[in-house]
Amino acid sequence: MLGARKTLKRLWRWRFLPAVVKRHPELRDPMPLRIFWKPRHALFPLVLAALPLARRRPLAALALALPWALAAKPSYGSSPRGLLRSASELPTAALVDAVEIAACARGSVDHRSLLL
């Protein structure tokens, strides 16, 4: 298994994806709003909007972050142990999505083709 640093470094390779999509625009057809690479990426800005609210308005923050969390959580069953394991992996999923979106944003600038 790769370490976290190596895994995040490998995710940065997605910065070339906007160039591929620019050359093959038909790849955009199944993408949400034709600019988000993954459906979860379209929900991730809600998580970022929830962060400043988390301390003063926790329920509002939860309501904003919940759609992404439901889309991102892995399924380990409905037992308490499975639900706990799924919830414990959400911070890692958030970090992965953030790095993928950042890589695509960088590639979008480099290749002049918007893709997040």
pLDDT digits (tens, 9 = 90+) for 88-114: 999 999 999 999 999 999 999 999 999
- CA atoms of 14 and 42, how far apart (whole Å): 16
- Tell me which amino acid residue 30 is: P
pLDDT in tens, 44-87: 999 999 999 999 999 999 999 999 999 998 888 889 999 999 99
This prediction has a pTM of 0.87
The Cα 111–Cα 6 span in angstroms is 25
* Cα–Cα distance for residue pair 51/34, rounded to 1 Å: 26
